[in-house]
Structures are given as C-alpha cells and as structure tokens.
Amino acid sequence: MFRFRLSLVLPLAAALVLALWPLVWAEADLYFQVFGMACFYGVLAVAWNIYALSGAISLGHAAFFGLGAYGSALMSCYLQWSPAVTVPLGAVAGAAYGVLWGLLFKNLRGVYLGLATLASVEIPKVIIDNWSSFTFGSLGVVGIAPLPDLRLGGLELAFGTSLKAQYYLLLLFLALAGLVHRYSLVSRWGWALRAMRENETAAAMLGVEVFRHRLQALLLSSYLTGLCGALYAHLLGLIEPALVFSLHISALPLVLSIFGGRFLTWGPILGALILYPLDQLLLQPQFPTGHAALYGLVIVLTILFCPQGVAPWLRKLRQIAWN
C-alpha cells in the first residue's frame, strides 16, 4: 500500500520541485536554459522510446527532427505564419517520413532495421543540403521567427525572449509527453506493443495486429520528434542540415532512454534530467568541444554494465533505504 502511494508521490514531488524552483530562484538564466533544454531532450527521449516500446531500436530519429525543423522553419519563412501554427503543421513532415519508414521497413527487424534507420537520415539531409533555391542549402535557414508571446490576463509569457517562460513551456511539453508515454505503457495499446516486443510471432497468433500497432507507435513517435525539431528551429532561430540531421540528435534520445530505463514510465525523462544537466553544467565548461563524448561513453557503459538502465537500480536503492 505504502509503496503504491510512493510510486505516485515521487513523480508528483519531482514535478512540483521542477515547477516551483524558478519562483524561489528568480534570476538564474543559465539554469533556466539548461533545465529547459533537459525537458526538451526528455520529450525527444520519450518520443524515441515510444517506437522502442514496439521492439525497434532506431538510429535515425534525426530524420524526423530535421524534417520537423525544416518544415516549420520554411513554412514560417515563406508564408510568414505564426510559429503557433507552423510548429504543429511543420512536424507533419516528420510524421510523413515516419509513415514512409513504417511501410518500407515493414519486414526489417533488429540490426537490419537499425541500419536502415541510420541510412535513411542521409536522404532528407542531402536533399535539403542540395536544394539551395528552396531550402537555402548548407547555409541553413537564418532569422527564424521566435516563439510568439502569450498574454493570459495580467500574466505575460514572453516565450520568444524570456528563458524562464521557455522553461515553463518546455516543462509543460515534457509533462504532456510523460502522460503520452505513460499511456503507451499501461493502456491496452501499450500491452499490444509490449507483447510485440517480447515475442512478435506469439503476439500475432494471439490476435495482436502487429503491423498496425507498430505503425501507430511510429507515427506518434515521429510526430513528437518532428514537434521537437520544429520547436528547436524557433528556439534557436537558425538551423542547418548538419545540425538538425546530425548523428548526435539520433543518438541523444537513445542514450537518455537506455540510461534512464526504457521500459519504465519515467525512465527516459529521468535520463534526460540527469545526463543533460551533467553534460552542460559540469562537462561543457571544461571541454567546450567534445563534451558530448559523455553520451557515447554512457551508451557503452550502460549496455555493458546495466542494460536495464539506472531506474531499476534507483528503485532498488529506494527499497534499501526504506528497509
């Protein structure tokens, strides 16, 4: 009984701390930015993990990210629409590519699927790189409109300029993504994904519509990743193919999810909230270039020494603490 309540209390407490600390500590732009981006990468990790729940290891989520970023940035650039419209619409570019994956990679599993996802990042990247007349080529898109301000009664949320406002926006985004992730684990749909992951043949013979569920997971995953990319374009103000289609973007959600614990509700989020601040606050000042080597090292060590990630390990720690 007590343990059951704890599993609810702990995330709530964490959410409360994440929501309230900026009120206490009013001027901490660096921390707003770092934890805002940690939330952002938390969403990216959740998005990646929804596809992973169906049993796939993707090495190419940068494709959705980049397409979402370019979708929104170009729409905003050519049509002058507000980012409030272009972000959700631009992300559709990522989702469309996701559906294409689902259809083309229908029969690929495991290693072969991983290779296919890795190679498929190159296609949109090279096309955008070379189609200069429309996409501005390798120079990238600059001067992308910042996120619009929002006025709620007397409260003004300057998402374009205030790092604190951005932090709250990204925290909300993470909370929503966390709920979606929870649904993907505990709903009946989630059980279908789990059954497919653990034994696809058995799942199919028990009536689980493997192809349809996998496509749904991929669609959700690619759209969420596209949303991240679109937001990224407006948060940063400039994008270029080498940046948004980089190996780093594909690797990051994988690292964070595997590190945090893939098959647990809060695993990917935990991974993001631990690793990203660690990287930005501790390593980045020491190694301005190359600090991202941390993520590579973390994958290697996690797979070797705790393939389930740290979450089960923390849980064990908690049990010890209580007894």
Interaction site with other proteins (CB under 8 A)? 57, 59, 104-105, 107-108, 110-112, 114-116, 118-120, 122-123, 126-127, 129-130, 188, 191-192, 194-195, 198-199, 201-211, 242, 246-248, 251, 254-255, 258, 263, 287, 289-293, 295-300, 303-304, 307
Q: Which is nearer to other proteins, 96 or 158 (CB)?
A: 96
Q: What is the DSSP string of 1-15?
A: -HHHHHHHHHHHHHH
Answer for the pair 311, 261: CB distance below 8 angstroms, yes or no.
yes
Q: How far is the CB of 247 from other proteins (least distance, A)?
A: 6
Q: Which is nearer to other proteins, 74 or 258 (CB)?
A: 258
Distance, in Å, from the CA atom of 317 to the CA atom of 270, rounded to the nearest integer, reads 15
All residues at 6 or more sequence positions from 101 whose CB lies less than 8 Å from its CB, including other chains: 116, 117, 120, 218, 222
- The kind and range of the H/E element at 44 are helix 29-52
| DSSP H helical ranges for 53-82 | 62-79
Q: How far is the CB of 25 from other proteins (least distance, A)?
A: 31
Q: Which is nearer to other proteins, 14 or 108 (CB)?
A: 108
Distance, in Å, from the CA atom of 92 to the CA atom of 266, rounded to the nearest integer, reads 26
Q: How far is the CB of 65 from other proteins (least distance, A)?
A: 16
Q: Which is nearer to other proteins, 82 or 130 (CB)?
A: 130
Q: How far is the CB of 166 from other proteins (least distance, A)?
A: 26
All residues at 6 or more sequence positions from 56 whose CB lies less than 8 Å from its CB, including other chains: 109, 113, 117, 214, 218
Q: How far is the CB of 219 from other proteins (least distance, A)?
A: 19
Q: Which is nearer to other proteins, 177 or 251 (CB)?
A: 251
